[in-house]
Amino acid sequence: MRPWETLAEASAPDGQPLLLRRRGHEYLIVAGGYDLMSSRDDTTARALATVGCGALGRRSGAHVLIGGLGMGYSLAAACAELPSDAVIEVAELVPAVIEWNQGPLAELAGRPLDDPRVRIYRGDVAQRIEEAKDELDAILLDVDNGPEPLAHDHNARLYGVQGLRAAHRALRRGGVHAVWSYSDEGDFAKVLGRAGFAGSVHPVSNRGRDRGRTHAIWLGLRKG
């Protein structure tokens, strides 16, 4: 079997090493020695945008915030789902991930960063959500493993009631908060409810490297 080749190195927000690796046509991002994402696992990343934007509908002039660029699959799916007058903002904390998506990873998802509707927020998506007040129509969040289990403890604030209430304040009436999760287990829908959302879960089968595993998109519709 062909060995993995390390193409680039960076640091995660908690200081752990972040590697971009390639073997044949597959790309892999490794964080702290653990596989974080593979280019073969695009199905559920795209589902985050198709489920989230689908719940929003074809709203004119929609402003959508994506938390976590990853390998660009969620962004590409949002570009395909949203109308020509949409604003699609992607928040990414790690500068190297943006560089990789402009370089060796660019063609995987069809170069979505080149779409004229796309803006890049270079920073923490939690901070961007705090800054927004009744500004966004949808938040699509793909950070860490989802609500649980977390690989990085500092991401917990995004999934607690306080973080979800910040998302509620950031969204306009009828807004959508969609969250990618490694698992459809747990009671995150109840946590969404405590923050003012009507919560539901949408299981999604992974067809790639993690084939047979059911991931999930948690969906919160802003009430009021």
State how far Cα 11 lies from the chain centre: 19
Task: Measure the CA–CA gap between 99 and 149, rounded to whole angstroms.
Answer: 28
Q: Is 21 inside a domain boundary?
A: no
Task: Measure the CA–CA gap between 125 and 65, rounded to whole angstroms.
Answer: 9
CATH of the domain at 62: 3.40.50.150
**123-179: pLDDT as tens digits:** 999 999 999 999 999 999 998 766 765 555 566 788 889 999 999 999 999 999 999
Q: Is 20 inside a domain boundary?
A: no
- Answer whether 176's CB lies under 8 Å from 56's CB: yes
3-state helix, strand, coil in the chain (%, to 5): 30, 35, 40
Q: Is 10 inside a domain boundary?
A: no
Q: Is 91 inside a domain boundary?
A: yes
* Cα Rg, the chain, nearest whole Å: 16
Band (27; pLDDT cuts 50, 70, 90)? very high
Dihedral (Cα; 79, 124, 51, 175), 10-degree rounding: -100
**206-223: pLDDT as tens digits:** 765 555 578 899 999 998
Residue range(s) defining the domain that contains residue 159: 40-222
Q: Is 15 inside a domain boundary?
A: no
- Answer whether 64's CB lies under 8 Å from 136's CB: yes
